[in-house]
Amino acid sequence: MKEYTEKIRETAKSLLKEGKVDIFIGYRKGTVPMMNEPFAVSDPDKTDLLYWDSNCGMNLCNYLTKRTDRIGIIANGCNSRNIVTHIIENQIKREQLYILGIPCTGMIDPRAVRRAVKYREITDVEESNGRVIVKGDGFEETFEKKDVLQKNCAECLHRNPVIYDELVAEKVPEQEGIETFRDVKKIEAMGSDERWGFFTRMISSCIRCYACRNACPLCYCTTCFVDEAQPQWVGKSNDPTDTMTFHILRAFHCAGRCTDCGACERACPMGINVRQFTKKLNKDALELFSWEAGMREDRRPPMDVYKVDDYNDFIR
Amino acid sequence: MTDKVFLKKDWVEALKAARDSFRIFVPVRDGDFHNFHSLEDWTIPNFDFFNTRLSPKSIVYPQSERIFECLNDPEDPGKGILKEAPKDYPPQAIVGIRPCDAHAFHIVKKNFEGPEYRDPWWMQRFESTVLVGLGCNAPCPTCFCTSVGGGPFHEEYLDAILFDLGDRYLARGLTEKGGEFISKMNGGSSADEKSIKEAKGLVAEAEKKVVSRLPFDKIGEKEVTGLFNAPFWEEAAFSCINCGTCTFLCPTCWCFDIQDEVSGRQVDRIRNWDTCMSPLFTLEGSGHNPRDKKFQRFRQRFMHKLKYYPDKYKNGVQCSGCGRCVRYCPVNIDIRTIAGLMNEF
Amino acid sequence: MNEWQPKITTFLCNWCSYGAADLAGVSRFQYPPFFRIIRVPCSARISPKFILAAFRHGSDGVWISGCHPGDCHYLEGNYYARRKFAMLKGLLEHIGIEPGRLNFSWISSAEATKFAETAKIVADQVKALGPARYFIKKRAEVA
Ligand code: SF4
Ligand code: SF4
Ligand code: SF4
Rounded-to-integer distance, Cα B194 and Cα B200, Å: 10
In a shared domain, residues A82 and A211: no
A208 Cβ below 6 A of ligand 2: yes
In a shared domain, residues A131 and A215: no
Residues A258-278 have a mean pLDDT of 97
Taking only Cα atoms into account, the Rg of chain A, rounded to an integer number of angstroms, comes to 20
Distance from the alpha carbon of residue A72 to the mean position of ligand 1, in angstroms: 22
Distance from the alpha carbon of residue B295 to the mean position of ligand 2, in angstroms: 22
C14 within some domain = yes
Ligand 3 atom 8, closest CA: B322
In a shared domain, residues A86 and A204: no
A213 within some domain = yes
C19 within some domain = yes
Band of pLDDT at residue B79, cut at 50, 70 and 90: confident
* Cα–Cα–Cα angle for B134, B136, B137, rounded to 5 degrees: 120
Give DSSP secondary structure letters for B199-219: HHHHHHHHHHH-------TTT
Rounded-to-integer distance, Cα A36 and Cα C2, Å: 63
Distance from the alpha carbon of residue A285 to the mean position of ligand 1, in angstroms: 15
State phi, psi for A32 to the nearest 5 degrees. Answer: -130, 155
pLDDT given for residue B187 in this prediction: 87
Ligand that lies nearest to the alpha carbon of residue A205, given by its number in the listed order: 2
Rounded-to-integer distance, Cα A231 and Cα B66, Å: 21
CATH of the domain at C111: 3.40.50
Using the 8-state DSSP alphabet, how is residue A146 labeled? G
* Cα–Cα–Cα angle for A88, A41, A8, rounded to 5 degrees: 75
pLDDT given for residue A235 in this prediction: 94
C49 within some domain = yes
Residues B17-27 have a mean pLDDT of 97
In a shared domain, residues A119 and A213: no
Residues A251-275 have a mean pLDDT of 97
Residues B206-231 have a mean pLDDT of 95
Interchain contact, B64 vs C140, CB within 8 Å = yes
Per the structure, how many domains does chain C have?
1
In a shared domain, residues A25 and A162: yes
pLDDT given for residue C1 in this prediction: 53
Chain C residues with CB under 8 Å of B266 CB are 139
In a shared domain, residues A124 and A200: no
Those residues whose C-beta lies under 8 Å from the C-beta of residue B229, and which sit 6 or more positions away, are none
Q: Is C95 on the interface with B (CB under 8 A)?
A: no
Identify the residues whose C-beta falls under 6 Å from ligand 1. Answer: A 59, 215-216, 218, 254, 258-264, 275, 278
C105 within some domain = yes
In a shared domain, residues A116 and A237: no
pLDDT given for residue B75 in this prediction: 87
Band of pLDDT at residue B224, cut at 50, 70 and 90: very high
pLDDT given for residue C48 in this prediction: 96
Rounded-to-integer distance, Cα A109 and Cα B217, Å: 37
Residues A92-104 have a mean pLDDT of 97
Kindly report the three-state secondary structure assignment for every residue of chain C: CCCCCCCEEEEEECCCHHHHHHHHHHCCCCCCCCEEEEEECCHHHCCHHHHHHHHHCCCCEEEEEECCCCCCCCCCHHHHHHHHHHHHHHHHHHCCCCCCCEEEEECCCCCHHHHHHHHHHHHHHHHHHCCCCCCCCCCCCCC
> pLDDT, tens digit, for every residue of B300-323?
999 999 999 999 999 999 999 999
Interchain contact, C84 vs A303, CB within 8 Å = yes
Per-residue burial over B28-59, b = 16 or more CB atoms within 10 Å of its CB, e = otherwise: bebeebbbbbebeeeeebebebbbbbbbbbbb
CB < 8 Å from B in window 9-38 of A = 30-32, 35-38
Rounded-to-integer distance, Cα C26 and Cα A259, Å: 51
In a shared domain, residues A88 and A132: no
- Are B169 and B140 within 8 A, CB to CB? no
Chain A residues with CB under 8 Å of C83 CB are 288-289, 302-303, 306, 310
Residues B72-96 have a mean pLDDT of 91
Using the 8-state DSSP alphabet, how is residue B306 labeled? I
| Amino acid (1-letter code) at residue B116 | E
Rounded-to-integer distance, Cα B54 and Cα B287, Å: 34
A153 within some domain = no
Say what the pTM is: 0.95
C138 within some domain = no
In angstroms, how far is CA B86 from the centroid of its own chain?
Answer: 25
A57 within some domain = yes
In a shared domain, residues A55 and A187: no
Rounded-to-integer distance, Cα A262 and Cα A216, Å: 9
> pLDDT, tens digit, for every residue of B269-287?
999 999 999 999 999 999 9
Residues B58-64 have a mean pLDDT of 97
C39 within some domain = yes
Interchain contact, C96 vs A251, CB within 8 Å = no
State phi, psi for B295 to the nearest 5 degrees. Answer: -70, -25
Domain span at residue A270 reads 179-316
C3 within some domain = no
A156: left (phi over 0), alpha (psi -120 to 50) or beta: beta
> pLDDT, tens digit, for every residue of C39-95?
999 999 999 999 999 999 999 999 999 999 999 999 999 999 999 999 999 999 999
Distance from the alpha carbon of residue A264 to the mean position of ligand 2, in angstroms: 8
Per the structure, how many domains does chain A have?
3
- Are B73 and B265 within 8 A, CB to CB? yes
Q: Which of B120, C94, B261 is nearest to A248 (CA)?
A: C94
In a shared domain, residues A64 and A193: no
Band of pLDDT at residue A176, cut at 50, 70 and 90: very high
pLDDT given for residue B1 in this prediction: 59
Interchain contact, C137 vs B263, CB within 8 Å = yes
Residues B83-93 have a mean pLDDT of 95
State phi, psi for B231 to the nearest 5 degrees. Answer: -75, -15
Residue of A nearest to B272 (CA): A237
Interchain contact, B248 vs A36, CB within 8 Å = no
Domain span at residue C37 reads 8-129
